[in-house]
């Protein structure tokens, strides 16, 4: 069966080379009994691949069972997968078959396999290696002939490094890996998928089909789509139902695309290919802007000394720069509101980070001609201003300066500030 026929049979939409590569691997491995691990972000459509593999395999007449490992409570998952004997635990009024017994001769799909408890992972490894399992509360082993296909939207090697997933189980599951591409990696399919969803919803709700103009299509392609196909489908449904005018322009579409990276902080413009921007990167942007302003402030003071006869304009510029510096410190303080929990280690790390930034702000940025004011003098002046503003309260002054109290005490002693 060729890939086009498989796409039509299972409702797969798209012509991306990455998608077709994943489908080709699924077709090739279907005729074997090898264990398959499907990886990819949430919402990319991983669940269709085990169906393709099962339907093209010699087990297609056997049972196919899909299990969401993340949706089953830890206390009952062993019973769900392997069954239990009567009286093995409270509420076990009769014996029950587990999924591995029911799926004997067929295929079992373990979605979100990285969510399995470590104890259950040991049981699963035994099934994969010997085909044997034990019901909960039983000492008698049972055999099963089941093909296992697993999927995960998290990086299992990371889970292994954190002690949450067994390395031997990972290698056993990962006999044949299939990587399902994200929507960002198959941009040529985004508009095609949107049109298909829009057509389906128009038929479902008996209404005209929505259509995007050229600018709206460009926005559709540029958007990040963290929720992948699931998010694209939801948005197409929302627009289909809510918008009376079925000709959708860029402004209308933009209302339905949440800004997943919106923060009340300065924005760093990302280079092409750059993905997540951390809060620390944003703070560094603030700090280096402040550093430039501080250099300019020093230059203005120098000019004032050289041209004392007309200081008004320079003083206005100095006041403006001081306001910008104060605004930068306010941004730094407000950034703490994004944190919901803070440990002692976090506070120590942040103190060190702030100390480094304070030193950065007060390190030489540019060579200024005939500069007569030292960096240390400006640093001392900033500390005096902060102490004066907060009436000698050192804790508040340190907060305003964006440094730790420890650093402030050291600087006060260094400059002999009373």
- Give me the pLDDT at residue 273, please: 41
- Give me the pLDDT at residue 281, please: 57
189 contacts 15 by C-beta, under 8 angstroms? yes
> In this structure, is the dihedral angle defined by the CA atoms of residues 293, 296, 301 and 304, taken in order, positive or negative?
negative
- Give me the pLDDT at residue 344, please: 53
Q: Using CA atoms, how far apart are residues 402 and 347, in angstroms rounded to an integer?
A: 13
pLDDT exceeds cutoff 80 at 271: no
- Give the pLDDT band of residue 386 (cuts 50, 70, 90): confident
Q: Using CA atoms, how far apart are residues 29 and 22, in angstroms rounded to an integer?
A: 11
Mean pLDDT, residues 98-107 taken together: 96
pLDDT digit string (tens) for 120-146? 999 999 999 999 999 999 999 999 999
CB half-sphere exposure, 149, CA atoms < 13 A = 28
Q: Is the pTM of this model over 0.75?
A: no
Q: Would you give the DSSP letter of residue 265?
A: S
Q: Would you give the DSSP letter of residue 232?
A: H
pLDDT exceeds cutoff 80 at 114: yes
Which is nearest to 57 in space by CA: 82, 36, 81?
36
- Give the pLDDT band of residue 265 (cuts 50, 70, 90): very low
pLDDT exceeds cutoff 70 at 295: no
Residue entry with tokens 């990886």: 39
Q: Which residues, at least 6 apart from 359, have a Cβ–Cβ distance to it below 8 Å?
A: none
Q: Using CA atoms, how far apart are residues 109 and 107, in angstroms rounded to an integer?
A: 7
Tokens representing 102 are: 């029911």
> Other CB atoms closer than 10 Å to residue 140's CB: what's the count?
7
Tokens representing 182 are: 């994200």
pLDDT digit string (tens) for 1-39? 689 999 999 999 999 999 999 999 999 999 999 999 999
Mean pLDDT, residues 49-67 taken together: 97
pLDDT digit string (tens) for 309-365? 444 555 555 555 556 555 555 555 555 544 444 555 555 555 555 555 555 555 554
Torsion of CA 174, 179, 180, 181, to 10 degrees: 160
pLDDT exceeds cutoff 80 at 221: yes
> In terms of DSSP H, where are the helices of 162-246?
167-173, 190-205, 214-222, 228-242
Mean pLDDT, residues 249-254 taken together: 94
Q: Would you give the DSSP letter of residue 380?
A: H
Task: Tell me whether residue 340 is exposed, middle or buried, using C-beta atoms within 10 angstroms of its C-beta: 0 to 12, 13 to 18, 19 or more.
Answer: exposed
Average pLDDT of the chain is 82
Q: What is the chain's alpha carbon radius of gyration, rounded to the nearest angstrom?
A: 31
pLDDT exceeds cutoff 60 at 248: yes
Tokens representing 390 are: 């907060």
pLDDT exceeds cutoff 60 at 150: yes
pLDDT exceeds cutoff 90 at 207: yes
Tokens representing 67 are: 């299990």
Strand partners, 247: 211
Mean pLDDT, residues 64-78 taken together: 94
- Give me the pLDDT at residue 79, please: 95
Residue entry with tokens 């802007």: 289
- Give me the pLDDT at residue 302, please: 64
């Amino acid at each position: 069966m060729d890939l086009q026929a498989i796409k039509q049979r299972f409702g797969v939409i798209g012509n991306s080379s990455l998608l077709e590569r994943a489908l080709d691997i699924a077709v090739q491995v279907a005729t074997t009994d090898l264990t398959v691990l499907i990886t990819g972000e949430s919402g990319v459509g991983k669940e269709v691949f085990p169906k393709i593999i099962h339907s093209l395999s010699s087990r297609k007449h056997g049972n196919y069972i899909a299990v969401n490992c993340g949706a089953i409570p830890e206390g009952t998952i062993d019973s769900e997968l392997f069954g239990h004997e009567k009286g093995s635990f409270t509420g076990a009024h009769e014996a029950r078959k587990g999924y591995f017994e029911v799926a004997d001769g067929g295929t079992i799909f373990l979605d979100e396999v990285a969510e399995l408890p470590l104890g259950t992972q040991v049981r699963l490894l035994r099934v994969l290696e010997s085909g044997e399992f034990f019901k909960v509360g039983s000492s008698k082993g049972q055999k099963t002939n089941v093909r296992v296909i697993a999927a995960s939207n998290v990086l299992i090697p990371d889970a292994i490094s954190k002690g949450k997933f067994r390395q031997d189980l990972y290698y056993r599951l990962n006999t044949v890996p299939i990587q399902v591409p994200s929507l960002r990696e198959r941009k040529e399919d985004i508009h095609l998928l949107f049109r298909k969803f829009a057509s389906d919803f128009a038929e479902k709700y008996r209404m005209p089909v929505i259509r995007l103009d050229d600018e709206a299509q460009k926005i559709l392609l540029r958007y990040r789509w963290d929720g992948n196909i699931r998010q694209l489908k939801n948005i197409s449904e929302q627009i289909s139902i809510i918008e009376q005018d079925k000709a959708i322009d860029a402004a209308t579409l933009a209302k339905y695309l949440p800004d997943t990276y919106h923060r009340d902080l300065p924005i760093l413009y990302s280079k092409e290919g750059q993905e997540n921007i951390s809060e620390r990167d944003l703070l560094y942007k603030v700090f280096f802007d402040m550093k430039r302003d501080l250099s300019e402030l020093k230059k203005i003071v120098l000019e004032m000394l050289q041209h004392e006869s007309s200081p008004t304009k320079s003083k206005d510029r100095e006041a403006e720069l001081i306001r910008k510096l104060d605004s930068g410190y306010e941004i730094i303080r407000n950034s703490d509101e994004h944190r919901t929990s803070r440990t002692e280690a976090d506070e120590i790390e942040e103190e060190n980070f702030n100390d480094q930034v304070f030193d950065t702000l007060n390190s030489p940025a540019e060579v200024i001609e005939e500069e007569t004011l030292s960096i240390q003098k400006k640093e001392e002046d900033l500390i005096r201003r902060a102490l004066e503003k907060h009436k000698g309260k050192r804790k508040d002054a340190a907060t305003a300066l964006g440094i730790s109290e420890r650093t402030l005490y050291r600087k006060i002693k260094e400059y002999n500030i009373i």
